[in-house]
Chains A and B, each alone.
Chain A
């Protein structure tokens, strides 16, 4: 497929439009306590049970930076191949809202902790580099609950003060699919690093999506609209698709696009204006006088660098080189750190005489199918890596056939039982004794004399019939290769 054909373009009459997308991803820092207080951050706790005096902005309360969150942000910066800024500043972003107890959010405006970096994404036709503009640390706000009472809004401050990393990409993305791949890659990197669990259902990862369109070939950017706070990849894709088409329609009608903030309505599958540029808040950013600038030394960064695990790009390279996997297989296996871990454990447990290709096929085939159908993560896999390794080895050394292996695998799903044991207890061992098989085949040929003659006269299709009979007679346990050989000889 040529590169051109993969381009995501919107066609109207004779015009072709390209979509330009930049993302501001809000990733919750994986940390037991909040950015400036010691309150817990556990998801799903009773409302207002994880709130300190600092989080609720009581008079005289002061923020104290959580060093662990700073480390997490730096690690993420390293994972994004980004510049770690030795000096960064916390600013106050001032606005009033009921779930913002301080009346300002502590964020980083002019001097973020992490500067420019890049993420490589794998596309069907090659790689693409997505530029990272910056990463900064900021506090999350609380949650306003409007639907518990017709008159009142309730406020839950459990999230208030939770550490977020805002990761701002350059406007380098060109299609909903690229956005999906980028988000997944970002999520994967952070999960490898242990800096964000990437759980979109729990709101650990959400994004503001900036969308603009321009005529294909144009170098100028169009006017962009920002779609706020989209919390699933699917919704991001739907929102982009809707928004890009909306903008193209405006251009085609000779109208202009207003720079504005929009909301995505998941029920109606459309974006709606939230506020125009004129109505934009004046956040009156200024350096938070309660906090000193963050000064980060080279030693500090180097120490963290030394703690960085192998990241997906490097792991993929290694899988290709060390295990002779295809780029496609390697990409799938490294996409999630837990999958990679599982795979590597299978490889390790297979011992010396191993068939890695076969293991990969079993993981990405049978195992993934089961996980998908049962909606499980690989960490919840009903079959342990150890037992899957044994199963693959049983196939590899001829103890069971691939077909029998599927039966064994089904049985393993119940209690993650040792496949060796299953094979023995159910007498599923492959019959590879040539003598016994010869006897079995002789019997079949004797019972089907006429068909044997027809075969010899040239009706080659009948070979399959004999194989089937032999397998049936052996209860499926006969070694198919041997059956083939013996049949060829005897017929």
Chain B
């Protein structure tokens, strides 16, 4: 039974379809391992009893035509799940139980998957280390006291630690790709508009996008196929023809033109990262693709642009948490006093910081200098990519400028924390798809990721490239189960 959790999603689906395993056996295996893995603190809410019931029900009448037949799965606690507490990692939603289901999770359950529980994340997805969660730090299965990245830290930890065969996260500035990179897993941020935002607790509406996190590219493709759909309930959802990402997955990338942007060679980047990138370039070349040097001239403005746009939207999106309708409420002398106390006590430090930044950049007298300017730069960043994509089919970069760091290492230095997202943020600003795949280890044995950025709606292409080099890299995650005694 113990090696059930070692199986990939694709293998588990096969096993259930071939009736080698039942949904109950699989579900039980992941629950047992999760029970032994509390140290990781990956879960905010466990829904194990209900999961076992659902698995039993599935086994009584298994529908094996589904894409995720009886597959147990935990999801980031940013997705609203009907009748299951949804906190967004915040005290302010600590008592919030939605009466509705997000479109993305709805898509997953309707393909036969079973909810295991809700995974830890940075508060309102604001963070790069999962340290801003009201529910505490998450441990990276790679090493003790190592952050799993963020904001989808619980999701990354749960996949790497085999507490769930696969999961979904959300990515506003790198929140899927960075933790994937830190935990040796695969994470895809789809094109903006590919996955519905309906029922996802909003951070920055123009950047937020849900995506799959998996042990390998094929699993990732399968889940992307399930979650991506046009949804009239999200006005920014785009109705385009979606591929059968897993069925159409191929390692044949001969003749593809891959761009290498010189601006991603940032000052102070560790040599290991540079070497990894070089290795990646070699792999791609070995697969028959063509390497082309490109320029994305406005790259260095991406991070400051992001840290204006995202907090601005967040400051407004989080205004609804006011203690009036749902969630945490502090007692106050009057309405204003209640607001102030509720929001001071209900939000953590990082969220408050971003609300203040966002409020500031939208204020009259500053709007033009900050928010409007940032929107203009955002357009230039997008134009850079459009220009590059006249010459290349995809772009290869490192996922992060470093490997995972220790818990507490950067908590007092927000700017150094923000720098983590330097390679991922431009992709969100441009609304493009990007995937991070594990590509090697640093000297400490911590995983390092490579990022492949695609054209809008061209998830299939970057999945194919990732699939091709995944074979060449033959990455093995070094998980010692250190947390299981």
Contacts and interface: CB of A to CB of B under 8 A. Distances in A.
A284 interface: yes
**Chain B interface helix/strand/loop/mixed:** loop
Given A57-B320, A98-B324, A101-B324, A289 B206 contact: yes
Contacts of A98: 322, 324, 335
Contacts of A58: 98, 100, 325-326
Contact of B359 (A65, A97, A155, A284): A284
A59 B322 contact: no
A102 B319 contact: yes
B201 A60 contact: yes
A373 B217 CA distance: 80
Contacts of A103: 316, 318-320, 322
A97 B198 CA distance: 25
Interface in A401-426: none
A60 B102 contact: yes
B364 A153 contact: no
Given A94-B362, A155-B324, A64 B319 contact: no
A282 interface: yes
B483 interface: no
B243 interface: no
Given A60-B202, A102-B320, A103-B322, 4 more contacts: A59-B86, A64-B233, A101-B325, A286-B316
B335 A153 contact: yes
Interface of A: 53, 56-65, 92, 94, 96-98, 101-104, 153, 155, 282, 284-286, 289-292
B324 A286 contact: no
B260 interface: no
B235 A292 contact: yes
21 contacts: A53-B100, A57-B320, A59-B96, A60-B80, A60-B197, A61-B198, A62-B234, A64-B233, A94-B316, A94-B319, A96-B339, A101-B325, A103-B322, A104-B316, A284-B316, A284-B362, A284-B363, A285-B362, A290-B205, A291-B235, A292-B236
B93 interface: yes
A94 B316 CA distance: 7
B98 A59 contact: yes
Contacts of B202: 59-60, 290
B448 interface: no
Residue among B198, B202, B235 facing the most chain A CB atoms (10 A cut-off): B235
A60 B100 CA distance: 10
A118 to B, nearest CB: 31
A62 B98 contact: no
B453 interface: no
Nearest to A97: B335
B199 interface: yes
Nearest to B78: A60
A155 B322 CA distance: 14
Contact of A64 (B98, B199, B235, B324): B235
Q: Which of B204, B236, B324, B362 has the most CB of A within 10 A?
A: B324
Contacts, number: 96
A289 B204 CA distance: 8
B335 A290 contact: no
A96 B355 CA distance: 14
Interface in B331-357: 335, 339
Nearest to A60: B199
Interface in B191-208: 197-202, 204-206
B371 A59 contact: no
Contacts of A64: 232-235
A58 B324 CA distance: 11
Contact of B319 (A65, A96, A285, A291): A96
Nearest to A92: B316
Contacts of A104: 316, 319
Contacts of A153: 335
B307 interface: no
A64 B198 CA distance: 11
Interface string B392-425: 0000000000000000000000000000000000
Contacts of A60: 79-80, 98, 102, 197-202
B313 interface: yes
Interface string B233-254: 1111000000000000000000
B12 interface: no
B88 A59 contact: yes
Contact of B371 (A56, A102, A286): A286
Contacts of B301: none
Closest 3 CB pairs of A and B: A103-B319, A289-B205, A284-B362
B367 interface: yes
A208 B30 CA distance: 62
A284 B355 CA distance: 13
A456 B326 CA distance: 97
A291 B232 CA distance: 12
